[in-house]
Chain A
Amino acid sequence: MASDRKPPPASGEQPQRAPEWADGLKQLYDSVVEEDLPDSFKTLLARLDEIDPRRGGGGGSSGNSSQSPDDRGAQA
């Protein structure tokens, strides 16, 4: 269990030396960051333009009470 094989990262911020799992934590995070975005997100992002933010929450109320985000209103 000799754990002195790796010098700590150059950042002087770190008060303790980085534990050996620290890279793993970043890797867990980065593995999700690097995943391809599921289609559901692309769909949602594409739809955002159709949702008027002023109707959704511009009034300062905490919820989206009257206008559900799914019901973006008929645009007839």
Chain B
Amino acid sequence: MSDSETPGTTRTAGEKADFKRELTAVVPHLRAFARGLCGRPDMADDLVQETLLKAWAAQDRFEPGTSMRAWTFVILRNAYLTDMRRNRFRGEYDEGVAERILTAPAGQEEPIHLSDLHRALLTLQPERREALLLVGAGGFSYEEAAEICGCAVGTIKSRVGRARAALTEMLANGNIPRRSTDDEAAHRAILEELDVVAAGNGVSTRG
């Protein structure tokens, strides 16, 4: 048995078990975050699997006691950005989500369709969508979201604010693209935006 090649970084079996338990616990959150980012369940799950393997391989870099969810989200978003650059993600919208409808609470006349919301979400600039997902859906604080995205807290606040304003406007006016694939202009804008992101302006793409 040769277990002495990386002195100081070897975790005990107990630590490994702890890591695995925590990693397992965040899988549903990784799936939700990935689904929100890329919209397609199959692609999102591939991304999560990739994330799990990377996280496992890098487990020595995880500081026990810190947030596993935040740590793995960083890995996931970096994998996402890398995939986006390689594959020119096509932004296809999944119809399965369209069947889910948010039932209106009592006293509210017009139900918000989750499918509309999801479609609107996918038209946002990736950085804003990501910020809104982290804060508005994932329940991260602005500070945590800023750390995950590698940017200033003020930047996150501004991205969330803009994302909220855009969604509110789209939903209020019913001004939602039918499907992201049908909206060439929006699609192109997203891809161009991604090039900016991928070029390293504003976000870090290296893990």
Contacts and interface: CB of A to CB of B under 8 A. Distances in A.
Residue of A21, A26, A59 most packed against chain B (CB within 10 A): A21
Interface stretch (B52-60, B146-154, B181-189): B52-60
Contacts of B16: 53
Contacts of B177: none
Interface string A32-43: 111101101100
A19 B167 contact: yes
Interface string B26-56: 0111011101100000000100110011101
A40 B49 CA distance: 9
A28 interface: yes
Nearest to B24: A45
Given A24-B114, A69-B57, A33 B52 contact: no
B112 interface: yes
A45 B52 contact: yes
Contacts of A45: 20, 23-24, 27, 52
Interface residues of B, number: 54
Interface residues of A, number: 41
B58 A25 contact: no
Contacts of A37: 27-28
Nearest to A64: B57
Nearest to B113: A24
B168 interface: yes
B14 interface: no
B76 to A, nearest CB: 13
Interface of B: 5-6, 9-10, 16, 20, 23-24, 27-29, 31-33, 35-36, 45, 48-49, 52-54, 56-60, 97, 100, 102, 105, 107-108, 112, 114, 117-118, 121, 132-133, 136-139, 141, 157, 161, 164, 167-168, 171-172, 206-207
Interface of A: 1, 5-6, 13, 15-16, 19-35, 37-38, 40-41, 44-45, 48-49, 51, 53-54, 56-59, 62, 64, 69
